[in-house]
Amino acid sequence: MSDNGCGFPAPGLHSFLFKPMFTVGGFEFNKVMLLALMTTLVVVTFFYVAFGKAKLVPGKLQMMGEAGYDFVRRGIVYETMGKKDGEKYVPLMVSLFFFIWIMNIWSVIPLTQFPVSSIIAYPAVLAAVVYLVWVPLTFKKHGFVGGWKNITGFDNSLGPIKWLVSFIEFFSNLLVRPFTHAVRLFANMFAGHLMLVMFTVASWYLLNSWMIPAAGVSFVMTMAMILFELFVQAVQAYVFVLLACSYIQGALAEHH
């Protein structure tokens, strides 16, 4: 029974907590870690099989791999950074896109039914990877002084407010940017999973009561939410990589 006395098992934070599957030396391995590991295996295996023995006339799997790779390369990296600057970052962005997408898509797969990205640690690590690429790159490209000017937007032409603008830019770029980069992905996956759980549980709960017609409505909403989540999952992977490219492009841009 739930706290409200109606017996409805309302979803909440407990829906994101999992008991350890096993413990090794004090390290607990749970379902989310398993899904993250499976994500890595799926992405690596797919691209290895697709391109391991690439042919001049590609097969179906190679065609799928090339289409996915080309979508990220041309549709995100080249559009944001240009071909010259962006080419060397294509492998990283392709890896990020498909890793995030597969992490998200587990939420609609039977038996797994959980998006890894709804646990903040995973988006945070990915955002940290991007952060550790564009920040050092800024100083490598512009030098120590030029790097700080790039990050803070320091400009003498702004007059008396230049220090205020620089402080805001410093705070925004070095502190707020990585936080929002991670939270944007996490929050969307967290909310989406919570909604899916709510409608799924409601359908089952209503089906076992006298409100069977309402269960049908809830089931339809569940199906609609699944379709919507499939769209959101891909969009969130796209947005994460788009922002990563934007940050790197900003690091390479000349300061004016």
The pLDDT score that the predictor gives to residue 242 is 97
pLDDT above 80 for 109 = yes
Confidence of residue 27 (pLDDT cuts 50, 70, 90): confident
Q: Which residue has the higher pLDDT, 223 or 5?
A: 223
The pLDDT score that the predictor gives to residue 2 is 45
Which residues, 6+ apart, have CB-to-CB distance to 248 below 8 Å?
A: 81, 89, 130, 133, 134, 137
Q: Domain tally for the chain?
A: 1
Under DSSP, is residue 256 helix (H, G, I), strand (E, B) or coil? coil
pTM (2 d.p.): 0.89
The CA distance from 245 to 198, in Å, is 35
Length of the chain: 256
Work out the average pLDDT over 88-94.
96
pLDDT above 80 for 208 = no
Contact 21, 29 (CB under 8 A): yes
Work out the average pLDDT over 99-103.
97
Confidence of residue 111 (pLDDT cuts 50, 70, 90): confident
pLDDT above 90 for 225 = no
The CA distance from 33 to 24, in Å, is 14
Is position 5 within any domain?
no
Is position 6 within any domain?
no
Under DSSP, is residue 29 helix (H, G, I), strand (E, B) or coil? strand
Work out the average pLDDT over 18-46.
91
The pLDDT score that the predictor gives to residue 1 is 40
| End-to-end Cα separation, the chain, in angstroms | 64
Angle at 8 between CA 6 and CA 11, to 5 degrees: 140
Lowest mean pLDDT among 110-124, 130-144, 192-206: 192-206
Is position 238 within any domain?
yes
The pLDDT score that the predictor gives to residue 7 is 59
Is position 37 within any domain?
no
Is position 18 within any domain?
no
Query: What range does the domain containing 140 cover?
Result: 60-118+129-253
pLDDT above 70 for 204 = no
pLDDT above 80 for 149 = yes
Is position 52 within any domain?
no
Is position 80 within any domain?
yes
Confidence of residue 9 (pLDDT cuts 50, 70, 90): low
The CA distance from 100 to 112, in Å, is 16
Work out the average pLDDT over 13-33.
85
Half-sphere exposure for 60 (CA within 13 Å, toward CB): 0
Is position 176 within any domain?
yes
Confidence of residue 224 (pLDDT cuts 50, 70, 90): confident
